[in-house]
Amino acid sequence: MDQDQAFLPPGLAGEEYRAHVRAWLAAHVPAGFLADQADHQAPDLDACRAWEAAMHRGGLAGITWPQAYGGHGLTLREHLIANQEIGRLALPESVNSLGKELAGPIILAIGSEEQKRRYLPPLLEMREIWCQGFSEPNAGSDLAGLRTRATRDGSVWRVNGRKIWTSGAPNAQRCLLLARTGPIEDRHRGLALFAMRMDAPGVTVRPLRQMDGREHFAEVFIDDVVIEADDALGAPDQGWSAAVRVLAIERATNRMYRAWRFENELHHLVRACRLDATLAALIESGTYHRRLAETVVDIDIIKAYVEPVVERLMAGESIGDRGSLMKLHWSEAHQRFAALALELLEQAPPGAAPEVQAARARFQRLYLAARAETIYAGTTEIQLGIIGDRILGLPRERARGGR
Ligand SMILES: Cc1cc2nc3c(=O)[nH]c(=O)nc-3n(C[C@H](O)[C@H](O)[C@H](O)COP(=O)(O)OP(=O)(O)OC[C@H]3O[C@@H](n4cnc5c(N)ncnc54)[C@H](O)[C@@H]3O)c2cc1C
């Protein structure tokens, strides 16, 4: 048996499970993967794919999914523990997070038995990467304004439209597509979700260059694309409620390791600053000292949010609109921290130690990536609107529906 398939002795729980995950990661993380280590080299797509497939064989993907669909049949508590351990390490972000954290959960919730068996194992084994086709040029925050149309044509659907900001589309095999089956005036009604093949005739992906030079997201043109009936997820009118569930998951449970990764970043920053006399003096001075201390508080707030969410979900409660609190706090705090880290490291003198220069390169990338964090999965203004309207019950200020 492959060494990483021998991962999960049955019945491990709590701290024993944590020790096992930690030991597995220590033994299997490929050389050069960790962004806070001297030997770091950003891995390419094939290396990320191979690593994530190994993580799945090692028990670290699909942790809560039923074994019948390639999962490991454990609970959200183990999912949280594994995420805490994954977060402690400066690992690359998943190249299939939209599959594992959005498409998978929604397929488990509304897919047929046949669809679960067909889509979920290839997704976990990294044979199929998924992207999320929701946003359109005129439908971002106001998602209910989307115009991509799916028309029934005998036994199949024909789809026409255009999606934008589709993360991971250049590498994806499937797209979780939200399309309109009813009139545009119906807005929330008459929307449907599909599992569209990205290699279907009529799908054209045009990568968009981001400010960090990567081409991670894309425009997706959909011209008379035929989607088989058994690639429609749920009933045609279930599309909006399913989409809202997808977005609630995206805000509340997606990347559960965030607080622990954030802590890894903070410790890396402090370690790097201590290696340089100029930076060491700066972080001991009043203003940076205080701002670093505030970051500790921000991280603890995120941790204090995640742990009860797990308990509530395990008790069968839904998180609903409260997912907005987490999304808002994490994205705003992380963006503030990324700016602080860059501000500090830019003050390193020429000829600073290689570790300091490597940290500066990491935090430059982080700074650029964090600019998007207050936009995707619903902007800061939309989260504030949801909190005001739906949690506080204030009269609606917004004219439009809001993502
Ligand atoms: C890095 C990145 C990755 C992304 N990946 C994906 C993906 O994989 N799939 C996908 O479908 N989408 C993706 N998106 C798109 C993302 O969901 C949208 O950008 C987001 O929902 C905002 O929509 P918009 O860009 O159309 O901006 P708009 O909705 O046009 O908003 C513009 C501005 O107006 C404000 N605003 C809008 N409506 C209101 C209101 N009612 N009240 C107050 N203020 C308002 C917004 O807060 C924002 O500041 C991604 C975006 C980014 C940046």
Residue 3: predicted pLDDT: 45
Residue 233, C-beta contacts closer than 8 angstroms, at least 6 positions apart: 106, 107, 110, 111, 115, 176, 192, 193, 194, 195, 242
Do 115 and 147 sit in the same domain of this protein? Answer: no
**What's the CATH code of the domain at 324?**
1.20.140.10
Do 269 and 365 sit in the same domain of this protein? Answer: yes
User: Which of 96, 124, 152 is the C-terminal boundary of a domain?
Assistant: 124
* C-beta 264 within 6 A of ligand 1: no
Question: pLDDT over 70 for what percent of the chain?
Answer: 95
Closest alpha carbon to 95 in 49, 133, 160: 49
250 is catalytic: yes
Judge whether 233 and 248 are in contact, CB under 8 Å.
Answer: no
In the three-class reduction of DSSP (H, G, I as helix; E, B as strand; rest coil), residue 312 is classed as helix
Q: How much is the mean pLDDT over the chain?
A: 92
* C-beta 130 within 6 A of ligand 1: no
Q: How far apart are CA 90 and CA 345, in angstroms?
A: 18
Question: Is 232 part of a structural domain of the chain?
Answer: yes
Distance 341 CA to ligand 1 centre (A): 26
Do 292 and 323 sit in the same domain of this protein? Answer: yes
Asked if residue 76 has pLDDT above 70, the reply is yes
**What's the CATH code of the domain at 102?**
1.10.540.10
Question: Is 3 part of a structural domain of the chain?
Answer: no
User: Which of 64, 91, 124 is the C-terminal boundary of a domain?
Assistant: 124
* Residue showing tokens 């040029």: 137
Please report which confidence band the pLDDT of residue 136 belongs to, taking 50, 70 and 90 as the band edges.
Answer: very high
Judge whether 29 and 58 are in contact, CB under 8 Å.
Answer: no
Question: Is 2 part of a structural domain of the chain?
Answer: no
Distance 402 CA to ligand 1 centre (A): 10
Q: What is the pLDDT of residues 305-314, one digit of tens each?
A: 998 888 988 8
Do 309 and 262 sit in the same domain of this protein? Answer: yes
Do 111 and 136 sit in the same domain of this protein? Answer: no
Residue 341, C-beta contacts closer than 8 angstroms, at least 6 positions apart: 265, 269, 363, 366, 367
Question: Is 252 part of a structural domain of the chain?
Answer: no
Residue 6: predicted pLDDT: 43
Q: For a pocket test of ligand 1, which of 101, 106, 141, 365 has the largest count of ligand atoms closer than 8 A to its C-beta?
A: 141
User: Which of 91, 124, 157 is the C-terminal boundary of a domain?
Assistant: 124
Closest alpha carbon to 75 in 125, 14, 19, 24: 14
Do 38 and 155 sit in the same domain of this protein? Answer: no
Asked if residue 198 has pLDDT above 60, the reply is yes
Question: Is 219 part of a structural domain of the chain?
Answer: yes
Other Cβ atoms closer than 10 A to 332: 16
Q: Structural domain of residue 174, as residue ranges? A: 130-237
Asked if residue 399 has pLDDT above 50, the reply is no
Do 287 and 265 sit in the same domain of this protein? Answer: yes
Do 119 and 134 sit in the same domain of this protein? Answer: no
Question: Is 354 part of a structural domain of the chain?
Answer: yes
Residue 189: predicted pLDDT: 85
Do 71 and 161 sit in the same domain of this protein? Answer: no
In the three-class reduction of DSSP (H, G, I as helix; E, B as strand; rest coil), residue 26 is classed as helix
Mean pLDDT of 388-401: 76
Residue 9: predicted pLDDT: 59
* Whole-Å CA distances, 198 to 111, 171, 394: 19, 9, 42
* C-beta 385 within 6 A of ligand 1: yes
Do 371 and 342 sit in the same domain of this protein? Answer: yes
Q: What is the pLDDT of residues 78-122, one digit of tens each?
A: 999 999 999 999 999 999 999 999 999 999 989 999 999 999 999
Q: What is the pLDDT of residues 326-368, one digit of tens each?
A: 899 999 999 999 999 999 999 999 899 999 999 999 999 999 9
Overall number of domains in the chain: 3
Do 59 and 75 sit in the same domain of this protein? Answer: yes
DSSP assignment of 340-397 equals HHHHHHTTSPTT--HHHHHHHHHHHHHHHHHHGGGTTTS-HHHHHHHIIIIIS-PPP-
Please report which confidence band the pLDDT of residue 386 belongs to, taking 50, 70 and 90 as the band edges.
Answer: very high
Question: Is 50 part of a structural domain of the chain?
Answer: yes
0.75 cut: is pTM over it? Answer: yes
Q: What is the pLDDT of residues 215-241, one digit of tens each?
A: 999 999 999 999 999 999 998 888 888
Q: How far apart are CA 98 and CA 87, in angstroms?
A: 18
Residue 343, C-beta contacts closer than 8 angstroms, at least 6 positions apart: none
* Whole-Å CA distances, 372 to 131, 210, 240, 328, 363: 17, 10, 24, 13, 15
Do 147 and 99 sit in the same domain of this protein? Answer: no
